Structure 1
């Protein structure tokens, strides 16, 4: 087995706490055709069942810790602090890379466009939605961020961004990744869309839980008020109303 580079191209960070679909995540990481990555697992104190699954993959892990933390973003920050790769990806437990050649394709793309700070691609969302989210169809990313975000599972962030702009806001419970992407964009970081499905999300995570929808809405409103002017908010809201009116009109015509 060849010696790994001291500074791999990717840092794959996996956060976990008793995730039932953990093995799917692990398999999708270790079977990647591109192995120029380090794998850091930050477990929040899972039960014996999850720890036994991790034990099967310990040989491929570059860092593993299992201890109580203060939430998913605190755990993600712990992973960042241990990382050495050029780009970070957060493939948290339960989610997975869409195909075994995802890292190979992403590495080739990033080497062709070395100026990229954030590469983002498409995400397949599992049942009950069973649909693909393609953020690149929206030409104005700033306007897109007003309503949506890009999936951290399908994104690769230059590690220097965390050194230059800090890490995830642990005061937020659900929307800290949304805030971070928006903050990077507002600071002039270079975003580039990669038109491939990069990750599968099992749609049972924290932000997918119906009990957390109100909290997510509240956090997003707080973030929007921080990053968007009142004029921008009014403009985007008007566009939203116009869009819905158009959809209703087209339905009535049919």
Structure 2
């Protein structure tokens, strides 16, 4: 089984070298490594040249955004599965790929995803665990972690690549359509595969408004028959969030007229 690892980089030579070392130290042998650089001027090209014997393909040129760069990588890849591990991100161990594809229980699945370790600017680590069962409701609020998700190359050949008209949410759109519209197979493996640096555009809370706008656009275009229900759910959620902040809610809670069941919920974040 051939695995293509694609790294997108722009002016992050320190993170790029960290990622290259992580990929090239993998125990799994049949790896194709591709680096798409957006015309960096910080010395990233020199880092790539340093490891060029271990890189199957690389290019450094200006592109039209993250998804245009990712699509370049997809177009050049020849692996059975693809995973995007962008500059600064690393595999959590040298056995991350082998733990999936050399597992005796492995079988061909369209999308294989695991847990993701996230590190913020203060060095605080949070491990995000994802559900075994995915649904349309799940994708209203969340997505899958592309640094910890192996995607069968055939999906891109059959259904097309990432939507370059979206600035932040195209990977979310891809997962949504593959699973909820095209009924692609998927499997969760309870292994923390990768480590993600919380400094990307979609992990910036200031971009949440744009993310929501792009998601609504996708729902309108791809699921017009249920967009009304989605908008009602959003309005209800907004109303309830506002109500929970009100003095009336605090008073009713204090006197015991409002009680919530205790639920065990895994932390979930969207990227």
- Please, what TM-score do these two structures have when normalized by structure 2? 0.80
**Deviation digits for residues 104-152 of structure 1 (CA, Å, limit 9, x no counterpart):** 011124x734330000111111125621111126x34332111100011
- Per the alignment, residue 265 of structure 2 pairs with none
Larger Rg: 2
Match of 2:203 among 202, 208, 211: 208
- RMSD of aligned C-alpha atoms? 2.7
Question: Is 1:72–2:69 an aligned residue pair?
Answer: no
Aligned partner of residue 102 in structure 2, secondary structure: helix
Match of 2:114 among 95, 99, 121: 121
- The Cα of 1:214 is off from its aligned counterpart by 2.2
**Deviation digits for residues 25-77 of structure 1 (CA, Å, limit 9, x no counterpart):** 11110111112110011111012421222222111000011111111110111
Structure 1 66/183 Cα, relative in aligned 2: closer, same or farther at 3 Å? same
Question: Is 1:169–2:155 an aligned residue pair?
Answer: no
Match of 1:27 among 8, 21, 24: 21
Match of 2:182 among 187, 209, 213: 187
Which moves more between the two structures, 24-33 or 231-240? 231-240
- The Cα of 1:15 is off from its aligned counterpart by 0.8
CA distance in 1, matches of 2:231, 2:169: 22
Structure 1 238/114 Cα, relative in aligned 2: closer, same or farther at 3 Å? farther
Structure 1 runs not aligned, ≥5 long: 1-7
CA distance in 2, matches of 1:99, 1:215: 34
Q: How many residues align?
A: 242
Structure 1 120/236 Cα, relative in aligned 2: closer, same or farther at 3 Å? farther
- Per the alignment, residue 266 of structure 2 pairs with none
CA distance in 2, matches of 1:120, 1:107: 12
Structure 1 135/32 Cα, relative in aligned 2: closer, same or farther at 3 Å? same
Aligned partner of residue 119 in structure 1, secondary structure: strand
Aligned partner of residue 115 in structure 1, secondary structure: coil
Match of 1:233 among 224, 230, 234: 230
CA distance in 2, matches of 1:85, 1:239: 44
| Contact 1:136/1:195, CA 8 A, preserved across alignment | no
- The Cα of 1:167 is off from its aligned counterpart by 0.2
- Please, what TM-score do these two structures have when normalized by structure 1? 0.85
CA distance in 1, matches of 2:174, 2:65: 16
Larger helix proportion of the pair: 1
**Deviation digits for residues 189-242 of structure 1 (CA, Å, limit 9, x no counterpart):** 10111111111110001212344332222112222334441465268659968x
CA distance in 2, matches of 1:207, 1:178: 11
